[in-house]
Structure 1
Amino acid sequence: MSSLSPPSLAVPSTGSATGNPRNKTALKPGRSLMDWVKLGHSGADLAGTKGTLLDVTPQELAKHSKRNDAWMALKGKVYNVTPYMEFHPGGEEELMRGAGQDATHLFNEVHKWVNFEGMLQKCLVGRLVESRPFFLKPSFLPLGRSSSKTHNATEQKNSLSVPNTNAQTVSSTRSPLVSPLTPSPLPSPKYDWFQTHTVINLAVYTRWKHMTRERVVVLKREAVVKVVCYIQDMVYVVHLELDKAVSHEFEVRVGGSVGKVDILLQKQETGVRWSRVGKTLPGHGEHLKGKDMEIEYVECTLVRREAITHNTSLLVLQVPEQTHLPVPVGYHVYLRSPSKEIVKPYTPVASALSLTSQEEPGRHIHLFIKVYSDGALTPILDALPVSSTIEVSLPQGTFSHDQLTAATTTASHLVLLAAGTGLTPMVKLMLPALRNKKNVHLLLFNKTENDIPWKQEFENLVEESSSLLKVSHVLSEGSSSWTGLRGRIDKTLLEKLLPENSQQQTTYLCLCGPTEFTKLGISLLGDLGYSSDACHAFLG
């Protein structure tokens, strides 16, 4: 992908974590998502193949790289994206970057969460192959299905065996259309199990001393247990069907110089010795890049909705019983609509803007959302009744432990530049920095006074932090009575507000907001001499 930043500030592009649908190009009238859905149901031959599916070689694919004739390969399937050009929220230029080639890598970097198979199903040309193309029967490549057989899980010690079971669990079997996994550059974690008269202990030696409970997800459904450990930018999976019954409750412990993770399960039959822990299930023992992990969903319940401003709300989601689902700082989750056709990323915020109030991680997810009347998902979320369920993914993200350490521990000053709902990743970043007695400056950009979220709560946090926190509100359309800062992000404003960067005083900066805001901010920080090591941008 081409860099969104100047050479002096090569900040990597990541998926939008704000759930802000305004990170896109303005579309012409009649080119909305619903208009595209209607066109797909009109019977028009959007693929241009008259219903015939083809085998397409890379050489043939490369011939279709023009704006009026654009094919693109995604995860082994070839689509004619020409009719989709004017409907693409990111604009035609962005879509053309993948024309005439396998764009899977580009797609995964920016739009991994998008259900492209549903979006482009009427544009399917065929599959990408290396051999000579030939015509296929229309039934050869059914969408959304795979003929691949479930791979055998690696057999482990302690009498773990490959399953031959129909146990109800979420399979992590990978489709043959998915790009090959990225090999791990880190030592592979080790798994073992132990028992006492009352407890089964599933132990993972992550070999990473910075491991915390916030980086361990546990999904338990009766006898099936899945543990996902987030180790730097890698994930390690333990997936088992237990040999005997255990209680619903479990405990997650993390500690030791090797980053040992213990999942403590209570035996239902105390005093009974297990000869084996159970059977391995698909995905057990996988150690792969987090970006290569299949997106997996759990059903969470909306337990509270609180209006924050005239068009923003706080949604509090409760995770299912027998589930530990924390979201690491700087990570996001995907929400999927009941129809499963719409998926959007959102970054959770803290349960409270307070240095003393810390909710136990893993039981609730707090989401700050802005409702757009023409949005794809937010009107659905806004209308969702309390006690309803919504599908939430396991955490995704690229914000590393080194970046978190630089932002909250190493640097003397943390500067957070946020526009609108770009505030969301900043909330969980500022709190640990303030607890570490760091100076934090939040520059929050909005249109009007009515758009400012949690104004009083931020004022209370300034007082609680003994003024270590400074909050600057910048309004582009402030009223005549507004006495604060006015305008938009620019070099003059940043020169005035940013702290001096020196050997005695180091600064770490984070940016998040609509794409144009973030791209401009990156460029301005580069002009001001900040390096990529001193910045992180949450880009859409």
Structure 2
Amino acid sequence: QVPLKPGRSLMDWIRLTKSGKDLTGLKGRLIEVTEDELAKHNKKEDCWICIRGFVYNVTPYMEYHPGGEDELMKAAGTDGTDLFDQVHRWVNYESMLKECLVGRMAVKPVAAAKEISTQSEEKKQLNGMLPEKKVLDASAKDLTPSYDWFQTDSSITIVIYTKQKDMNAELVIVDCQEKRLRGEIIVDDHSYLVEVDLDHAVQEDMTINIAEKVGKVEIILRKKNNIHWKMLGQPLESHNTFIRRTDRGLFYRKCKLVSKTEVTHDTKLLCLVLPKSTHLHIPTGQHVYLKQIIAGTEVVKPYTPVLPFLPLDFKQPSHYDGAHIYLMIKIYSCGLFTRAIDCLQIGDYISVSNPEGNFKKSQVQTSEDVFLLAAGTGFTPMVKLLNFTLTEVSCLRRVKLIFFNKTEDDILWRSQLEQLALKDERFEVQFILSQPTKGWLGKQGKISSSLLSDFVKRSRKDSKVLICICGPTPFTEQGVQYLKDLGYSQEEIHAFTA
């Protein structure tokens, strides 16, 4: 993120797009753009970018881009789809840049088929018989999930054969909204989807059974009327596909706000409840996206769910049942998105996406020394990670949280962290303030190589170490570089970014 000039906020951009001003320079015409034509528009004062076959004149957006002009210029005059997906594929660019649309690419390059999918057969009605898959080779076919279904007088059961031996609840995401059923199975960096407009109505609650060792998932729906179904329903476009997760696109469901409590002077803990017809467990170290419509424009931001409090006995709190999502959100006085969140009333709804993130629990399961470097709300991914580490990591010697803030008033859950340090000798917390008052007796300063060399030390010469870091982008980037300079390898460092 870079500081924006006054009058260049998100709200200012939304106002500009609604002003009627011609932002493309084409007076509302849409044109076909060749690669040669696109390449000509590669300067700050004349910048076109292609995303997923659509070309946008982003020149007027330059000054409004939170990541700065230089980041946009990396894709100037080219197809920026891959770069866009790496940085923020969650941003709804169609909504944000709709007034900047120049047109389509004239010739869309045809890429070689990389994925396993079943498009042509999908027009058939679903009767539970799987169409033959087009596959790249026999081994791919063997590993591609499949499904079947059956019924009783009162229920419908969809069985998904994942062909994975370590299936668990975090890898199964199911939503049933009205008659639309969506069941997604996560298989490493791929995703298998069952997505159907059901033949008849079902009741709100459902049951998910997971046979972890054999990788079988059952979705049991209760019929509203005890009638015989002739078929499961009509397949939707992405039904029965097995593709890369990054190609899948985000799916949102509306969650109800059930409580909002103060954590500090500017940070709140929100509790959202999932719909009864949603099965979603957010893995440790992963984030979700919240989506709001502000002044007619979709705005999306990432947040990492936390626990409702830090458990001192290292068991999941009893009311942390998987149906609730807890989010710790800092409210910025000039922040369009967080102010809108602060205005939400109990009972209001907000859209929450499927989880994303590349942290894997296996990274920490063999660690003896775990260091958590957090700045401000960069503390949020550390909450579940801290609980998981102290609960599940059998070889753990110690876990140390180094928590950077401006003032004492900014420290999130300070008393809980201090209680945890007293309760468990494996845990240590170090608070570091950049703008302390005169009475502060603790450490002060900002992240630096010398500070990290003092605090990040192996418990013994060859101990297995994991260092996790999260905070504002400059903090994270500097921290990673300092750690590498101190001799820690890329495998020993995990940066939480979204």
**In 1, Cα distance between the equivalents of 2:141 and 2:353?**
26
What aligned pairs does 1:79-90 form with structure 2 within 5 A after superposition? 79-90=56-67
Sequence identity, in percent?
Answer: 43
Query: Is 1:27 paired with 2:1?
Result: no
Aligned to 2:291: 336
The answer to whether the 8 A contact 1:235-1:289 is kept is yes
Aligned to 1:37: 14
- CA change 1:269–1:377 in 2 (3 A) is closer
Aligned to 1:366: 326
- Equivalent of residue 414 in structure 1, options 370, 379, 388: 370
Aligned to 1:153: 122
One-letter amino acid of the counterpart of residue 362, structure 1: G
**In 2, Cα distance between the equivalents of 1:189 and 1:231?**
9
- Equivalent of residue 458 in structure 1, options 405, 409, 417: 417
Aligned to 1:291: 246
The answer to whether the 8 A contact 2:369-2:458 is kept is no
The answer to whether the 8 A contact 2:254-2:350 is kept is yes
What per-residue deviation string (whole Å, max 9, x for no partner) do you get for residues 420-465 of structure 1?
A: 111111111111110024221111111000000111111232344x
The answer to whether the 8 A contact 1:301-1:390 is kept is yes
**In 1, Cα distance between the equivalents of 2:232 and 2:257?**
35
The answer to whether the 8 A contact 2:195-2:238 is kept is yes
Q: How far does residue 419 in structure 1 lie from its aligned partner after superposition?
A: 0.7
Which is bigger in relative contact order (C-alpha 8 A, separation at least 6)? 1
Residue-pair matches, total: 472
One-letter amino acid of the counterpart of residue 488, structure 2: Y
Q: How far does residue 352 in structure 1 lie from its aligned partner after superposition?
A: 2.7
- Equivalent of residue 522 in structure 1, options 458, 480, 488: 480
- CA change 1:406–1:156 in 2 (3 A) is farther
One-letter amino acid of the counterpart of residue 514, structure 1: P
Query: Is 1:345 paired with 2:302?
Result: yes
What aligned pairs does 1:427-446 form with structure 2 within 5 A after superposition? 427-436=383-392, 437=394, 438=396, 439-446=398-405
Q: How far does residue 197 in structure 1 lie from its aligned partner after superposition?
A: 6.5
The answer to whether the 8 A contact 1:161-1:280 is kept is no
- CA change 1:192–1:161 in 2 (3 A) is closer
**In 2, Cα distance between the equivalents of 1:470 and 1:33?**
40
- Equivalent of residue 431 in structure 2, options 465, 468, 473: 473
What per-residue deviation string (whole Å, max 9, x for no partner) do you get for residues 18-50 of structure 1?
A: xxxxxx100112222222233333343221223
The answer to whether the 8 A contact 1:61-1:71 is kept is yes
- CA change 1:152–1:332 in 2 (3 A) is farther
SS at match of 1:482: coil
SS at match of 2:362: helix
What aligned pairs does 1:487-526 form with structure 2 within 5 A after superposition? 487-500=445-458, 504-526=462-484
The answer to whether the 8 A contact 1:342-1:376 is kept is no
Query: Is 1:393 paired with 2:393?
Result: no
Q: Give the TM-score normalised by structure 2.
A: 0.88
Q: Give the TM-score normalised by structure 1.
A: 0.81
Aligned to 1:109: 86
Supply the RMSD in Å over aligned alpha carbons: 2.6
Q: How far does residue 504 in structure 1 lie from its aligned partner after superposition?
A: 4.3
- Equivalent of residue 33 in structure 2, options 15, 38, 56: 56
- CA change 1:156–1:83 in 2 (3 A) is same
The answer to whether the 8 A contact 2:128-2:232 is kept is yes
Q: How far does residue 154 in structure 1 lie from its aligned partner after superposition?
A: 7.0
What per-residue deviation string (whole Å, max 9, x for no partner) do you get for residues 260-313 of structure 1?
A: 22223345677x876654443332212122221122221111100000000000
**Structure 2 unaligned blocks of 5 or more:** 109-118, 132-139
The answer to whether the 8 A contact 1:499-1:507 is kept is no
**In 2, Cα distance between the equivalents of 1:411 and 1:215?**
24
**Structure 1 unaligned blocks of 5 or more:** 1-23, 132-149, 163-183
Aligned to 2:50: 73
Query: Is 1:483 paired with 2:441?
Result: yes
Query: Is 1:254 paired with 2:195?
Result: no
What per-residue deviation string (whole Å, max 9, x for no partner) do you get for residues 210-242 of structure 1?
A: 321122211123443221122222221112344
Aligned to 1:12: none
The answer to whether the 8 A contact 2:47-2:59 is kept is yes
**In 1, Cα distance between the equivalents of 2:358 and 2:142?**
16
- CA change 1:477–1:243 in 2 (3 A) is same
Aligned to 1:7: none
Q: How far does residue 70 in structure 1 lie from its aligned partner after superposition?
A: 1.2
Q: Bigger CA drift: 387-396 or 100-109?
A: 387-396
SS at match of 1:341: strand
